[in-house]
């Protein structure tokens, strides 16, 4: 039977830092889709298709490495993954056509998935997964503040390298992401060493594992619904008449909330049963989605976007804590990024079609339905984890 790993606060922080720096391009997806649309003069659906391809590759890399997280050397995965991400983020700057960009984003996504699976596996096997996942999601919020301030300005890049090559728009974003990957490489050595002996977790019943996989499918459905509107949140702001800089300021407010809420949620996960907090948070998320998708004024956008953007980061620590109790090996929790991104990868394409056909209102109604369906699917696992918690 595997014994939970007692990670120091500095070790959890180093894992979180490597994750958020490697994952910078994913945190900026809403700006990416806007930058790709503007730089290559594409429709919403065509730009969404490119983003979908990258997200699908992240999901594939995550799902493969989640199966191996209990036997791989985490430092090697972090170093190789961050190196690949750095290289292909910089190569993405050279893309002059959508096809070239797609070619560079696929290996980036595979490496992102490997890093994310390894990070989640280490945290899931720790002795306090709820609060540690809260720290990781809080770090995502902190990174979000930086991204929200930096990316709108990077989108305004207009620099001539030669008579034949200019750096504009989306190039500025990928330069930022490359710099972040370089910082990740510099911190890899601070991440904790693997245990010399990696023991296997106690086998769970088929029924328990089945509801765990069902919950992963459900969280993927939920994030698919959220991203159907969320990945076009910059486009919503632009159509209201806001500049990228003003949209970035709104994101900064949301990301600031995202620093505190995951920590609070992680603490709640260690003290209370998970079902009621998750139900409350999901209900608020569905309401915020409906308001945002029908918003036609700046004040509504300013009010709702921080809530809409932050609530998923509050849900995840509680959900992942439940997954860690369901499967002590960490494989289920390590797989969560694959399921989240498999759902999310379809969202830019599907969302683009819905928006092109029926506007943001149609996409919002579809989004709310998917969020509630996902909640229904995760419920059996959450209730089972609550029962285990009360018995322990």
Instruction: Give SS3 for 166.
Output: strand
Q: pLDDT grade, residue 392 (50/70/90)? A: low
Q: pLDDT grade, residue 251 (50/70/90)? A: confident
Q: Is residue 196 part of a domain?
A: no
Task: List the end-to-end C-alpha distance of the chain, in Å, as a whole number.
Answer: 16
Q: pLDDT grade, residue 199 (50/70/90)? A: very low
Domain residues for 83? 10-190+203-391
Q: Is residue 277 part of a domain?
A: yes
Q: Is residue 4 part of a domain?
A: no
Q: pLDDT grade, residue 372 (50/70/90)? A: very high
pLDDT single digits (tens) 329-354: 677 888 887 888 777 777 877 888 89
Position 295 pLDDT exceeds 70:
yes
Q: Is residue 1 part of a domain?
A: no
Q: Is residue 147 part of a domain?
A: yes
Residue 101's CATH number: 1.20.1250.20
pTM summary value: 0.75
Q: Is residue 33 part of a domain?
A: yes
Q: Please tell me the total count of domains within the chain.
A: 1
Average pLDDT over residues 123-128: 81
Say how many C-beta atoms besides its own lie within 10 A of residue 383's C-beta. Answer: 15
**pLDDT value of residue 43:** 80
Environment class of 160 (CB within 10 Å of its CB; exposed 0-12, middle 13-18, buried 19+): exposed
Q: Is residue 3 part of a domain?
A: no
Q: Is residue 197 part of a domain?
A: no
C-beta separation of 112 from 58 below 8 A: yes
The percent of residues in the chain predicted with pLDDT above 90, rounded, is 29
What are 119's two structure tokens?
């990070």
Q: Which residues contact 80 (CB under 8 A, 6 or more apart)?
A: 111, 114
What are 261's two structure tokens?
């809420």
């Amino acid at each position: 039977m595997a014994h939970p790993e007692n990670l120091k606060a500095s070790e959890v922080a180093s894992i979180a830092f490597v994750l958020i720096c490697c994952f910078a391009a994913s945190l900026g997806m809403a700006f990416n889709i806007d930058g790709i649309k503007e730089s290559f003069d594409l429709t919403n659906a065509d730009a969404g298709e490119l983003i979908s391809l990258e997200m699908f590759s992240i999901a594939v890399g995550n799902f493969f490495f989640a199966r191996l997280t209990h036997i791989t050397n985490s430092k090697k995965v972090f170093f190789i993954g961050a190196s690949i991400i750095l290289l292909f983020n910089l190569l993405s700057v050279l893309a002059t056509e959508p096809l070239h960009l797609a070619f560079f984003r696929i290996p980036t996504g595979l490496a992102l998935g490997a890093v994310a699976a390894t990070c989640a596996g280490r945290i899931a096997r720790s002795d306090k997964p709820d609060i540690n996942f809260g720290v990781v999601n809080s770090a995502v919020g902190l990174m979000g503040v930086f991204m929200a301030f930096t990316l709108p300005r990077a989108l305004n890049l207009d620099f001539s390298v030669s008579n034949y090559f200019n750096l504009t728009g989306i190039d500025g974003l990928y330069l930022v992401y490359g710099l972040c990957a370089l910082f990740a490489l510099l911190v890899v050595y601070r991440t904790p060493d693997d245990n010399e002996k990696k023991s296997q977790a106690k086998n769970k019943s088929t029924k328990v594992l089945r509801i765990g996989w069902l919950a992963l499918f459900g969280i993927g459905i939920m994030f698919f619904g959220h991203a159907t509107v969320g990945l076009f949140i910059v486009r919503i702001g632009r159509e209201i008449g806001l500049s990228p800089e003003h949209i970035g300021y709104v994101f900064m407010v949301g990301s600031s909330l995202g620093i505190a809420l995951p920590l609070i949620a992680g603490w709640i996960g260690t003290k209370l049963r998970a079902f009621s907090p998750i139900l409350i948070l999901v209900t608020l998320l569905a309401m915020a989605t409906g308001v945002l998708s029908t918003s036609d004024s700046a004040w509504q956008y300013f009010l709702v976007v921080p809530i809409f953007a932050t609530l998923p980061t509050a849900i995840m620590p509680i959900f992942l804590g439940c997954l860690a109790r369901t499967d002590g090996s960490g494989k289920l929790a390590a797989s969560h990024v694959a399921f989240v991104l498999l759902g999310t990868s379809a969202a830019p394409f599907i969302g683009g079609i819905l928006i092109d056909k029926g506007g943001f209102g149609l996409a919002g109604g579809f989004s709310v339905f998917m969020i509630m369906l996902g909640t229904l699917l995760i419920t059996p696992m959450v209730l089972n984890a609550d029962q285990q918690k009360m018995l322990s």
